[in-house]
Amino acid sequence: KVLEEELGPNWREKLSSFEDKPFAAASIGQVHRGVLKDGREIAMKVQYPGVAESIQSDIDNLMSVLKMSVALPEGLFADSSLEVLQRELVWECDYRREAACAKKFRCLLDGDDFFDVPAVVDELSSSRVLAMELVHGVPLDRCVDLDQETRNQVRLSSRL
């Protein structure tokens, strides 16, 4: 339903295949595998329906409860902390912003053969759908399992 709402009724025509069953979970959505007409594998992150509205409602409720609470320690600025939390969660729900950040990150690492940042597929992306090339590799959080020489290479590459 989200895919059709965001990309239109004919979104599948841009793909040669799409797996309806997700292969991974994201923080506020699920990830499906697809193949573009040109043969590139892609991952499509699809936001769960209503998640942005639910998060906003939860933050509003939390702000109301905290404003009425006398249990907060003196000097704790709940309003400003919640404003930061709210901003971060709104950004988390905005896949267009995530796409822009991914493009910038890809540009910054262009030319570094050690890193492969997937390209965003704009024609299959929106505020609630993010399509990117599916890249097979080692996530940065698993680098701790790599041998020391490889970790050194990651560290040196990240300094450039």
Domains detected in the chain: 2-51+90-159 (3.30.200.20)
pTM of the model: 0.75
Give the contacts of 31 (CB within 8 A, at least 6 positions apart). 22, 23, 24, 25, 43, 44, 45, 46
Confidence (pLDDT) at 76: 62
- The whole-number mean pLDDT for each consecutive block of 10 residues of the chain, a chain of 160 residues, reads 94 97 90 97 93 74 67 63 75 90 94 86 97 84 79 61
Confidence (pLDDT) at 56: 73
Give the contacts of 24 (CB within 8 A, at least 6 positions apart). 30, 31, 43
Confidence (pLDDT) at 98: 94
